[in-house]
Chain A
Amino acid sequence: EIVIMQSPGTLSVSPGERVALSCRASQSVGSDLAWYQQKSGQPPRLLISDTSTRATGIPARFSGSGFGTEFTLTISSLQSEDVAIYYCQQYNMWPLTFGGGTRVEIK
C-alpha cells in the first residue's frame, strides 16, 4: 500500500498570502495524484487531477506541481472561501490512498 503523508497538519494564513501544501508518497505514483478540498459539513470537491490539471470550475489561483513522490498544491492568493481541509490522493495503484489532510485557516 502506498502511504501518503501531508504537511503541515494545519496552516494559518492571512488573506491574499500564498499558500503551499505538501504531499509525499511512500513510493512513486508518477503523475497520478489528485487534490480535493473539503469544507465543513460538505463532501470533498475535486480540485486537481494528474498532478496539475484543474477540474472544471476551479479558480486559477489553485495550481499543482510535482512528480513521483513529492507534490505541492499552491493557492496563489488565499481567499476567505478557501478555508477548508485539503486532501491529496494517489490513484496509481490499488488500494487508492489519501493523505491525512492539511487544514487551512484564516489568520
Chain B
Amino acid sequence: QFHVVESGGGVVQPGGSLRLSCFSSGFVFHTFGMYWARQAPGKGLEWVAFVENDGSKKYIDSVRGRFTISRDNSKNTLYLDMSNLTPEDTAVYYCGKPQVGFAPRPLDVWGQGALVTVSS
C-alpha cells in the first residue's frame, strides 16, 4: 500500500524558517514527481510546489523565492524548506503522490499533514 508521512511541523516566529519532510513507502519513489499542498485553518486547498523525478521544480507565486522543494531518492524522502515565513503561511502542509502519467496529474496519495503555525 502507498504511504506518505509528513514531519517537521511546529510553531515558528514570523521571518523564521522550517523544514518539512515527507517519507514515502510502497511505491517506487524516484519514478514519481511529488507535490506539496497546504490548507490554512478553515480554508480550502492550495497547491504549493512540485518536483519532477528529474529534479525540475515549480512553485506557486506566493512562495517562490522563499520555499525550496527538494528530494533525496536514496531516502525516499521529499522536503520543503521554508524561510521568511509569514502568518499567511500558517496551514496544514500535505505531501502528495500523483497518479501515474505525465505531470501534472491529480494526487492519489495524501499524507495526514503537518501543521505549521507562524506566530509571535
Contact = CB atoms under 8 A, between A and B. Distances in A.
Contacts of B99: 46, 49
A99 B44 contact: yes
B87 interface: no
A83 to B, nearest CB: 17
Interface residues of A, number: 21
A97 B48 CA distance: 10
Contact of A49 (B46, B58, B106): B106
Contact of B45 (A46, A87, A94): A87
Contacts of A36: 45, 106
Contacts of A100: 44
A49 B109 CA distance: 13
A43 B61 contact: no
Contacts of A56: 108
Contacts of A49: 99, 105-106, 108
A45 B110 CA distance: 7
Nearest to B113: A43
Interface in A32-58: 34, 36, 38, 43-46, 49, 55-56
Given A46-B99, A91-B104, 11 more contacts: A34-B106, A38-B45, A44-B94, A91-B105, A95-B60, A96-B104, A97-B47, A98-B44, A98-B45, A98-B46, A98-B47
Q: What are the 6 closest A-B residue pairs judged by CB atoms, nearest first?
A: A34-B106, A43-B110, A96-B47, A91-B104, A98-B45, A49-B106
